[in-house]
């Protein structure tokens, strides 16, 4: 299996540090507002990566941080009058609801920064003792020029560094590029006790403390969006390697491409964002997940409503193929057929190719293309009355591969009782039609349509399709 490592700018063979165990950290949410589709792109991508690693047999420990103390939260608290902890908890709850809707369920631990103050302070003390950090009147800074490897992730030279996001301009710093490890309390701000006085941690040290608490001095995968490479991830490397002397701090750095709107990154600061919550009022969550996975995780996506509509139509074609095959099974006969043999061969080929494309840096776009090919073979098999065993095999492979990507969750969760209730409703409608009670039959059809279930009367009987 190959993964693209931002640190080396190459695809490398994936070999975990400790046998079958994979340690994975992904930069999480700052909960001061509703999350948008740009956030969803990253978290859906890493959910698919974690799912696939587990599918391959790896034991994955996936930790995602929660930046629940931050300038954004403090400013929003001042604007709304809601306390920082209450505000952060409110939007973290909404974030969890959004992620659950999108099928992001692979995260083992959500780690809040405010629960790691002792570890943060311990790491800052260690950096001061080793000569990499200094205290200026209650503000503690990391002295970037003391760490010789700074810039190796972003490929920037120290003398050419550009000021990055959340890097404060402060004349008391020894160098402009030095970044805050601890911030002295300002009036009205939340604060914790420390050897340097009341204050709160800087952005970068929070993630280092959380990750090293769970994984130790070195771990396998660090993920996040491309815009976090500098200064955030660069600073994490500097802090960790300066403190421990262990290199590399992280073996594989994985970064997701940006979700663009008319050529610009989707971001709250630009006002061009669409919240996950709002998107879910117009599109089913599985359509949004399909849209986000229908691109390689490292590739940017140019977002538009037209593209979402196309994704909706494409996803529906897969749903229709799946439902048609499922409804064919009760009337399928035994005995191997030529069309069934072809379907089984296609399923075996799809399973092999699925592993190949996902082993090549988690290429979900190509994996989804294989699902379309298998769906087409299912359609052919049904049209040619393939044997039951072969159709079951094709359906099983389709469902298995789609499940690795977290697609079609509602199909997996559908209960036997729900199936029987729906079948009963369809039977009642058929009896109404046989009695020429078309008013009742049309009413049932209309009400089911409102629930997302479309009935189509065909020569082979009634076909049920998700809307």
- Taking residues 222-239, what's their average pLDDT? 97
- Mean pLDDT check: name the lowest of 100-104, 284-288, 300-304, 374-378: 300-304
Give me the pLDDT at residue 344, please: 96
Largest CA distance in the chain: 89
- Which pLDDT value is given to residue 464? 53
- pLDDT higher than threshold 70 for residue 161: no
Give the pLDDT mean for 306-310: 92
pLDDT for the residue numbered 467: 43
* pLDDT on residue 399: 94
User: Given a cut of 50, is residue 412 above it in pLDDT?
Assistant: no
Quick one: pLDDT band at residue 143, thresholds 50, 70, 90?
very high
Query: Residue 417 has what pLDDT?
Result: 54
Closest CA to 166 of 260, 73, 46, 35: 73
Residue 429 confidence (pLDDT)? 87
Confidence of residue 302 (pLDDT cuts 50, 70, 90): confident
| Helices and strands per DSSP (H, E), number in the chain | 15, 16
| pLDDT (mean) for 118-128 | 98
Tell me the C-alpha distance between 153 and 380, whole Å.
Answer: 50
Angle formed at CA 343 by CA 327 and CA 423, multiple of 5 degrees: 5
Q: Which CATH class is domain 316-412?
A: mainly alpha
Q: Looking at residue 246, what DSSP letter applies?
A: -
Q: Residue 436 above 70 pLDDT?
A: yes
Is the distance from CB of 416 to CB of 397 less than 8 angstroms? no
Q: Answer with the residue of higher pLDDT: 270 or 381.
A: 381
Rounded to an integer, the average pLDDT of 445-465 is 67
Bond into 231 cis (ω within 30): yes
**pLDDT (0 to 100) of residue 420:** 64
Question: What would the pLDDT profile of 356-371 be if each residue is shown by its tens digit?
Answer: 999 999 999 999 999 9
> Which of the four pLDDT bands, split at 50, 70 and 90, describes residue 410?
low
For 2-293, give the CATH class: alpha beta
Q: What is the mean pLDDT of the chain?
A: 91
The answer on pLDDT for 274 being more than 90 is no
Which tokens is 118 given? 């002792």
Please check the confidence at residue 308 and state whether its pLDDT lies above 50. Answer: yes
Question: Regarding beta strands 2-5 and 10-13, do their DSSP bridges make them parallel or antiparallel, or are they unpaired?
Answer: antiparallel
What is residue 87's predicted lDDT score, i.e. its pLDDT? 97
Q: Convert the pLDDT of each residue in 59-80 to its tens digit.
A: 999 999 999 999 999 999 999 9
| Domain ranges within the chain, ordered by starting residue | 2-293, 316-412, 416-466
- What is residue 415's predicted lDDT score, i.e. its pLDDT? 41
- Do residues 222 and 129 lie in contact, with contact meaning Cβ atoms separated by under 8 Å? no
Element (H, E) at 464: strand 461-466
More confident residue, 208 or 445: 208
Reported as a pLDDT band with limits 50, 70 and 90, residue 171 is: confident
Is 52 exposed, middle or buried (CB count within 10 Å of its CB: 0-12, 13-18, 19+)?
A: buried
> Is it the case that residue 376 has pLDDT exceeding 70?
yes
Distance CA 99, CA 101 (A): 5
Give the pLDDT score at 168. 56
Query: Looking at residue 416, what is its pLDDT?
Result: 47
Output the pLDDT for position 46: 98
- What local confidence, expressed as pLDDT, does residue 458 receive? 61
Q: Flag whether pLDDT at 20 surpasses 70.
A: yes
Considering only 154-158, 331-335, 407-411, which range has the smallest mean pLDDT?
A: 407-411
pLDDT of 413 higher than 50: no
């Amino acid at each position: 299996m190959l993964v693209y490592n931002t640190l080396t700018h190459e695809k490398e063979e994936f070999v975990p540090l400790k046998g079958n165990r994979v340690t994975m950290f992904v930069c999480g949410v700052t909960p001061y507002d509703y999350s948008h589709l740009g956030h969803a792109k990253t978290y859906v991508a890493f959910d698919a990566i974690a799912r696939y690693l587990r599918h391959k047999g790896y034991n994955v420990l996936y930790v995602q941080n929660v930046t629940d103390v931050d300038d954004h939260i403090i400013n929003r608290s001042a604007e709304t009058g809601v306390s920082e902890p209450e505000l952060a908890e409110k939007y973290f709850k909404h974030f969890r609801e959004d992620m659950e809707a999108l099928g992001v369920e692979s995260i083992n631990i959500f780690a809040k920064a405010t629960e790691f103050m002792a570890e943060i302070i311990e790491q800052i003390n260690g950096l001061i003792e080793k000569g990499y950090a200094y205290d200026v009147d209650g503000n503690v800074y990391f002295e970037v020029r003391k760490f010789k490897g700074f810039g190796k992730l972003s490929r920037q030279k120290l003398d050419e560094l550009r000021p990055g996001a959340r890097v404060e301009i402060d004349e008391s710093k020894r160098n402009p590029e030095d970044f805050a490890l601890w911030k002295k309390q300002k009036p009205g701000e939340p604060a914790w006790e420390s050897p340097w006085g009341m204050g709160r941690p800087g952005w970068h040290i929070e993630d280092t403390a959380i990750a090293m608490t769970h994984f130790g001095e070195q771990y396998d995968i660090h993920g996040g969006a491309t815009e976090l490479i500098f200064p955030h991830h660069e600073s994490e490397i500097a802090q960790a390697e300066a403190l421990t002397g262990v290199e590399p701090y992280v073996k594989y750095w994985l970064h997701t491409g940006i979700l663009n709107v008319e050529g610009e990154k989707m971001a709250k600061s630009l006002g061009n964002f669409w919240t996950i919550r709002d998107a879910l009022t117009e599109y089913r969550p599985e359509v949004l997940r399909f849209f986000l996975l229908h691109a390689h995780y490292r590739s940017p996506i140019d977002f538009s409503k037209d593209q979402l509509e196309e994704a909706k139509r494409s996803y529906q074609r897969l749903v229709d193929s799946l439902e048609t095959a499922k409804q064919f099974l009760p009337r399928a006969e035994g005995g191997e057929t030529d069309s069934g043999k072809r379907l089984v061969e296609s399923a075996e080929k799809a399973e092999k190719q699925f592993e190949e494309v996902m082993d090549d840096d988690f290429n979900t776009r190509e994996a989804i293309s294989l699902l379309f090919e298998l769906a087409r073979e299912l359609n052919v098999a049904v049209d040619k009355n393939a044997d039951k065993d072969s159709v079951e095999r094709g359906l099983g492979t389709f469902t298995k591969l789609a499940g690795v990507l977290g697609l079609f969750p509602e199909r997996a969760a559908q209960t036997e009782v729900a199936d029987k209730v729906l079948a009963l409703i369809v039977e009642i409608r058929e009896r109404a039609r046989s009695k020429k009670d078309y008013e009742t039959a049309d009413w049932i059809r209309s009400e089911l349509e409102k629930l997302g279930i479309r009935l189509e009367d065909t020569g082979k009987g009634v076909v049920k399709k998700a809307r």
